[in-house]
Amino acid sequence: MTSLQPGDKAPSFNGIDQDGKKVSLSSLKGKKVILYCYPKDLTSTCTVQACNLRDHHKTLVKKGYVVIGVSPDDEALHQKFRAKHALPFTLLADTDQKILKAYGVWGEKSMYGRKYMGVLRTTFVINEKGIIERVITKPRSSEHAEEILDPAY
């Protein structure tokens, strides 16, 4: 579980998106950022979450947000995921888990009694000054945009 809290400065990051373009937190200064960290492209829960953000993307943009997903998948898989589900936002390929580790969401997980390292699904809402406003741990994938838009959710 991440140790980052609202009021903390968001860790800087540099990543490569699905098209091979560099994306950094500093390049987004002055914009509100939804940085959602998820385990794997083209899997059921991750697809539900991404499609929920897609379906509410226009509302999120109207509210001034830039949506960025980050997972350990590579650029090619991100391209496939975006194309298959018409995702209108950036997906960062964090194959070395530098961003995920900086945000404290790369950790031990357990499934069917087997322990392994993976992404602890978490979303960070970062303000225009690079300060974390909200940390949503274990987001509800099918209602994720609503969680982001309504702090009381």
**Residues assigned a catalytic role:** 46
Residue-level pLDDT at 2: 82
Q: Which amino acid is at 4?
A: L
List pLDDT tens digits, range 6-44: 999 999 999 999 999 999 999 999 999 999 999 999 999
With contact defined as beta carbons under 8 Å apart, do 90 and 68 qualify? yes
Mean local confidence (pLDDT), 146-153: 86
pLDDT band with cut points at 50, 70 and 90 for residue 146? very high
Task: Extract the runs of DSSP E, i.e. beta strands, from 4-86.
Answer: 14-17, 22-24, 32-37, 65-71
Mean local confidence (pLDDT), 124-137: 96
List pLDDT tens digits, range 42-88: 999 999 999 999 999 999 999 999 999 999 999 999 999 999 999 99
In this prediction the pTM is 0.95
Indicate the CATH number for domain 14-149: 3.40.30.10
Query: CA-to-CA distance for 132 and 6, rounded, in angstroms?
Result: 5
Task: Extract the runs of DSSP E, i.e. beta strands, from 1-153.
Answer: 14-17, 22-24, 32-37, 65-71, 90-93, 106-111, 114-119, 122-126, 132-137
Listed by start position, the domains of the chain span 14-149
Instruction: Tell which residue, 135, 140, 98, has the closest CA to residue 119.
Output: 98
